[in-house]
Amino acid sequence: MDQAQLNWITNFIWNIADDVLRDVFVRGKYRDVILPMTVLRRLDAVLEPTKKAG
């Protein structure tokens, strides 16, 4: 992944935070919400193949 792609993804995530989390969380606290959500989504993506087996 090059720097341009990383910047696009970062901006995309922050724009979602601005749209969804505005007035729910203080702007400085977004990272307290986004990081756990990102980790959970990544875990969900990694475990996707095992969902159908269970």
Distance between CA atoms of residues 46 and 4, nearest Å: 25
Confirm if 35 and 17 have CB atoms less than 8 A apart: no
* pLDDT band with cut points at 50, 70 and 90 for residue 53: low
pLDDT tens across 19-41, in order?
877 777 777 777 787 788 888 88
Contact assessment for residue 39 and residue 13, using Cβ atoms and an 8 Å cutoff: no
What total number of domains does the chain contain? 1
Q: What is the pTM of this model?
A: 0.47
| CA 22/CA 18 separation, integer angstroms | 5
- Whole domain around residue 47: which residue ranges? 3-51
Closest CA to 19 of 5, 34, 4: 34
Q: If you average pLDDT over every residue of the chain, what do you get?
A: 81
Residue 54 predicted with pLDDT over 70: no
Q: What is the pLDDT of residues 6-18, one digit of tens each?
A: 889 888 887 887 7
